[in-house]
């Protein structure tokens, strides 16, 4: 009878050791997975940050290009306007100069 009790106690002790080893292995696996996951999250964040920075740089470049195009378009429109209305502008300028240099009592 004592031998059976000893065998049961021995089996229980082996079972405790196996369970303890399983817990230790599970803990090690969990730690490794968490570390790997943390590294992947960090890498993904860095990639996302780089992607966002590239998108911002591209958007800035595009905005600058559009801004320059608008400036060039307005300059061309101004030049075209002046070219198209040069005679009228010269006539107006001559009238203004005439008004400025003609004494008031001689003006009609």
pLDDT score for 108:
66
Residue 108 per-residue DSSP state: -
pLDDT, tens digit, 9 for 90 and up, residues 17-75 = 999 999 999 999 999 999 999 999 999 999 999 999 999 999 999 999 999 999 999 99
Cα 32 to Cα 39: distance, rounded to the nearest angstrom: 11
Q: What is the pTM of this model?
A: 0.54
Cα 98 to Cα 5: distance, rounded to the nearest angstrom: 130
């Amino acid at each position: 009878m004592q031998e059976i009790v000893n065998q049961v106690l021995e089996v229980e002790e082996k079972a405790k050791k196996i369970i303890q080893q399983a817990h230790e292995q599970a803990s090690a696996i969990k730690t490794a997975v968490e570390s790997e996951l943390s590294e992947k999250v960090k890498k993904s964040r860095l990639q996302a940050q780089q992607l966002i920075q590239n998108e911002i740089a591209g958007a800035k470049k595009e905005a600058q290009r559009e801004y320059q195009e608008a400036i060039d378009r307005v300059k061309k429109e101004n030049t075209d306007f002046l070219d198209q209305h040069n005679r009228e502008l010269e006539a107006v300028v001559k009238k203004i100069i005439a008004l400025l240099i003609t004494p008031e009592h001689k003006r009609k």
